[in-house]
């Protein structure tokens, strides 16, 4: 369920304390670094890409992470900015290494370089001025040797043209993938405001297991409302949660079916937290695209969620009551008769309170909908400990039944 959510950064002060650097939107509606002196902000980076984090500020340099290279929003590289311009420190250090980060020494003479994908992660100690390797800290050779004995999925990444946007997707394909065959499809969704599900990190997770052992294609898609691609895309769902981000997952599934290797009769969706909300809204849409789906710890009604998060995107109910009323899972309860649904929640969830799932359950019962549910007693939002393996095992069995 790991997902990256874009956050506004705090100001990073210069060593003399007389000014600071801040990531804010520029005139083109992309997030860039601005140098703020006596209240006046001047942009020092620009382009149709975004700065993600300021790592270090010294007397003459600003070190930062952005997705500038190749205009891939799911990539990450480390840059150094000076008055003479910018240089990329990590763009060409390793082959097949496009998701990078760094942490700098006190005076930025050295930095720890982390390559997190698409290749198996690597870690180095680097000298900043020459950008030369000092020490190989971790090569993960043991892991690489072990996993080379296992058939693992291949990754397919690309874009879908949707509403004037080129929106990114990724697919875990079975190791012996044959495009002349038909495979079941599981959409793995988050889709919250400013979030990113499609990136170039290396992961071994439940999606890996499903693709490699169950021959299920697992896909993710970053639709409208996603982060790291400019404010215009991100603001599409402002004041209207539960609309475009839900529609786009349905559209993406239809586009995947058109590729020719997806079994249109075996399409499912699942998500956790905001992803559980979107999964539920998709299944309740009556689209006819999905056979089944799973929602773990889902929001069901935004008036039940914490106000700091909700009102950031939806304003107060008194200012936007129609959007609140039209974005509940319960209002779509009757449409769940045509899908198989698994609802999962921990009774001690202090983030998305158990009330959210209880409301969905009550609405489905009132509509005489047959559905599956699993409650985890005294477990919080992360369903840690023994519950974690149990929930993935349970969902795997549910999927097997759905796709049988």
Tell me the angle at which helices 244-258 and 274-283 cross, rounded to the nearest 10 degrees: 70
Q: Answer for the pair 94, 86: CB distance below 8 angstroms, yes or no.
A: no
Of 101, 220, 349, 361, which is the active-site residue?
349
Count CB-CB contacts under 10 A for residue 35.
17
Please say if 34 is a catalytic residue: no
Q: Choose the catalytic residue: 273, 280, 300, 327.
A: 273
Q: How far is CA 266 from CA 27, 68, 187, 293, 339, in A?
A: 45, 38, 11, 11, 11
Name the helix (H) or strand (E) containing 210.
helix 206-213
Verify whether residue 163 is a known catalytic residue: no
In the residue annotation, 381 being an active-site residue is answered as yes
Cα separation, 364 vs 358, in Å, equals 10
The residue annotated as part of the active site, out of 26, 86, 235, 381, is: 381
Long-range contacts of range 157-161, CB-CB < 8 Å, 24 or more positions apart?
Answer: 157/74, 157/198, 157/200, 160/221, 160/251, 160/252, 160/255
Instruction: Count CA within 13 A, CB hemisphere, residue 193.
Output: 19
One-character DSSP codes across 1-68: ---EE--PPPPEE-TTSS-EEEEEE-TTS-EEEEEEETTEEEES--SSS-EEEEEEE-SS-EEEEE--
What is the SS3 assignment for 264? Answer: strand
Residues with Cβ within 8 Å of 106's Cβ and at least 6 positions away in sequence, in order, are: none
| Residues acting as catalytic residues | 273, 349, 381
């Amino acid at each position: 369920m790991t997902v990256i959510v874009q956050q506004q950064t705090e100001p990073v002060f210069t060593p003399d304390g007389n000014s600071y650097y801040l990531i804010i939107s520029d005139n083109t509606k992309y997030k860039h670094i601005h140098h703020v002196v006596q209240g006046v902000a001047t942009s020092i980076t620009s382009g149709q890409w975004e700065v993600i984090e300021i790592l270090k500020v010294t007397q003459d340099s600003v070190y930062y992470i952005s997705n500038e290279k190749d205009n891939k929003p799911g990539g990450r590289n480390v840059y150094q900015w000076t008055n003479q311009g910018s240089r990329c420190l990590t763009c060409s250090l390793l082959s097949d290494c496009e998701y990078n980060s760094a942490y700098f020494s006190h005076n930025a003479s050295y930095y720890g370089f982390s390559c997190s994908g698409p290749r198996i992660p690597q870690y180095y100690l680097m000298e900043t001025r020459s950008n030369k390797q000092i020490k190989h800290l971790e090569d993960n050779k043991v892991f690489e040797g072990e996993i080379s004995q296992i058939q693992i999925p291949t990754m397919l990444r690309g874009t879908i043209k949707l509403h004037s946007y080129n929106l990114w997707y990724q697919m875990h394909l079975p190791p012996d993938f044959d495009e002349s065959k038909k495979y079941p499809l599981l959409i793995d969704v988050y889709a919250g405001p400013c979030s990113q599900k499609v990136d170039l990190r290396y992961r071994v997770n439940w999606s890996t297991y499903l693709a490699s052992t169950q021959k299920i294609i697992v896909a993710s898609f970053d639709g409208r409302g996603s982060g790291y691609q400019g404010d215009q895309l991100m603001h599409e769902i402002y004041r209207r949660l539960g609309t475009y981000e839900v529609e786009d997952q349905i559209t993406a599934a239809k586009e995947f079916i058109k590729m020719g290797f997806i079994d249109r009769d075996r399409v499912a969706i699942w998500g956790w937290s905001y992803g559980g909300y979107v999964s539920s809204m998709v299944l309740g849409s009556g689209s006819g695209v999905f056979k089944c789906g799973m929602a773990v710890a889902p929001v069901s009604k935004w008036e039940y969620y914490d106000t700091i998060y909700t009102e950031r995107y939806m304003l107060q109910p008194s200012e936007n009551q129609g959007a609140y009323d039209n974005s509940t899972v319960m209002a779509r309860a009757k449409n769940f008769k045509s899908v198989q649904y698994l609802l999962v929640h921990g009774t001690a969830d202090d983030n998305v309170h158990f009330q959210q799932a209880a409301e969905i359950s009550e609405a489905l019962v009132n509509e005489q909908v047959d559905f599956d549910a699993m409650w985890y007693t005294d477990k919080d939002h992360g369903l840690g400990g023994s519950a974690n393996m149990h929930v993935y095992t349970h969902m795997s069995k549910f999927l097997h039944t759905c796709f049988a």
